[in-house]
Each structure stands twice: as structure tokens, then as C-alpha cells.
Amino acid sequence: MATWIFSDPFRALGLWTAAAAAIVLLWYLARRPAPTRATKLALLLGIGVLPIATAGTGNLAGYEATKERPFCSACHVMTPYGDDAASAASRSLAARHSRNAAFGHESCYTCHADYGMFGTVATKLGGLRHVYEYARRYRSMPVDEFLATIEIRRPFPNATCIRCHSTVNPGWTAIGDHASALAEVRAGTVACASEGCHGPAHPFSKEARKARKARAGAGEAAP
């Protein structure tokens, strides 16, 4: 308990202020005192100051929670992505980056945050679109079907990779493929996370799509 409070003081503060507000409000509802100035001041604490503090810290804790990998993989169709990223045995690009402390539990957010180009707020708005799509189309879809259907909305931008892999270090440019495709990589016309380069970040989903296409192709070829 103590460790948890010290590791997440905002959440602890939010819970304490919520508890204090609840005490004031329950006292008011149980005792029903006359609405004197003292009662109104007590209610200012119980309805105004303390809940606003709870909302402030709660929102902050909520925003932080939305960056965590368990949050992203809470919907059933995203579970394979979260499991793969968390797997110590997986050799996928996502898993290898998740083992890096700089990505850690926020590996989904760290890589996918710049979809909107306008930072955190745009990313959160994009997340709301995910919620909408999930509620509308994917809520009751089996995972296998989802993996074979889902596509990234826009190609994964190389700029995300270049934030860490700067493309100017001698170790990077010494690799022949990097040196020959330097302009294309920087321009984003050759994707770092593509087959033939570093592979897709979540290869299992691509395999499911390939299998589906192969099945569809076989169906068309058959008389």
C-alpha cells in the first residue's frame, strides 16, 4: 500500500480528497443541517474544492493510465498485440522495443503517439476514434477475424523511428542498406517497419492477413 502511494502520489491524493469529500457529503445527507453559512462552507469543500481536486488528479491519473500497455490491450482484439509486446520470447519489433526501458509499459503509446501530428491531444482524439470503431465494428468480432481484417490507418511514419535512430550516427550509416536508402528513409518513401527491412512491428497480424488473402485467392482460382 505504502509503495503504491509513493509510486503514484497523484492517484493517492485523488483518493484521499474523494474520501474527504464523501465524508462531508454523507454527513450532510444524513444529518440534513440547516443551510447556514457554516453548512454552505462545509459544502463548498464537499461539492467544490475537494471534488475538483479529485477530478484534477483523477484526470491526470487517467491520462497516464491511457498510455499504459494493459490499457491499450484491454479490448479483446488488442490482447494479442499486448501479449506479444510483453513476451520476453518474442522477436517482433514491438516486443524488442518494449524490452527497452525507454518504452517499457508505455511502448504502444511511445510508438503510436504521433499519428495525429499534433501531440498528446490529437493522439487522445485518435484514441476516441478507436473506441468508436471498436464499439461499432469490432466489439463482437473474433480475434482471428480481426487480425486478418485490421489494417493500420496510415503507414507507420519513419519519423517515429528517427526520433531515436537518428540516421546520422556512423554505426547506422555504415550499414549498406541504410546508406543506399538514406534519402528514401528520411523522406518516408521506404518504410523502416516493412518486410525486407526491419519487418512489420506486429508480424503475427500480417501472417493472418496473408493467410486470408491466400484463402481468397484459392477461392477465386477454383472453378
Partner 1 sequence: MRWLAQRLGVIDPSRLLRASAALTLAALALMVWSMLQPTPLPVMLAMTVGQALGTLAFALYGYVVIADVWRGRRARRARRASDAGTGGGDAGEAAR
Instruction: Say whether residue 160 binds partner 1 (CB under 8 A).
Output: no
Check residue 61 for interaction with partner 1 (CB under 8 A). yes
Q: Does 129 bind partner 1 (CB under 8 A)?
A: no
Mapped onto helix, strand or coil, the DSSP state of residue 85 is helix
Residue 68 interacting with partner 1 (CB under 8 A): yes
From candidates 5, 26, 168, 187, binder to partner 1 by CB under 8 A: 26
Neighbours of 113 (CB within 10 A): 17
Q: Does 47 bind partner 1 (CB under 8 A)?
A: yes
Per CB under 8 A, does 22 bind partner 1?
Answer: yes
| Nearest distance, CB of residue 3 and partner 1, angstroms | 16
Smallest CA-to-CA distance from 94 within 171, 161, 168 is with: 161
Cell of 209: 492477413
C-beta of residue 114 within 8 angstroms of C-beta of residue 123: yes
Q: Which is nearer to partner 1, 75 or 141 (CB)?
A: 75
* Among positions 38, 74, 125, 179, the unique one binding partner 1 when judged by CB under 8 A: 74
Tell the smallest beta-carbon distance from residue 122 to partner 1 (Å).
17
Q: Does 83 bind partner 1 (CB under 8 A)?
A: no
Residue 221 interacting with partner 1 (CB under 8 A): no
Inter-residue contact 146 to 77 (CB < 8 Å): yes
DSSP secondary structure letters along 22-34: HHHHHHHHHH---
| Residue carrying C-alpha cell 510508438 | 111
Nearer to partner 1, 72 or 192 (CB): 72
Start-to-end CA span in the chain (Å): 67
Binding residues with partner 1: total (CB under 8 A): 35
Q: Where are the beta strands (DSSP E) in 1-54?
A: none
Q: How far is CA 178 from the centre of its chain?
A: 29
Least distance in angstroms from the C-beta of 29 to partner 1:
5
- Residue 84 C-beta: closest distance to partner 1, Å: 20
8 Å CB contact between 79 and 87: no
DSSP-derived letter for residue 100 is S
Binding site for partner 1 (CB under 8 A): 11, 14-15, 18, 21-22, 25-26, 28-29, 32, 34-35, 40, 43-44, 46-48, 51-52, 54-55, 58-59, 61-62, 65-66, 68, 70-71, 74-75, 131
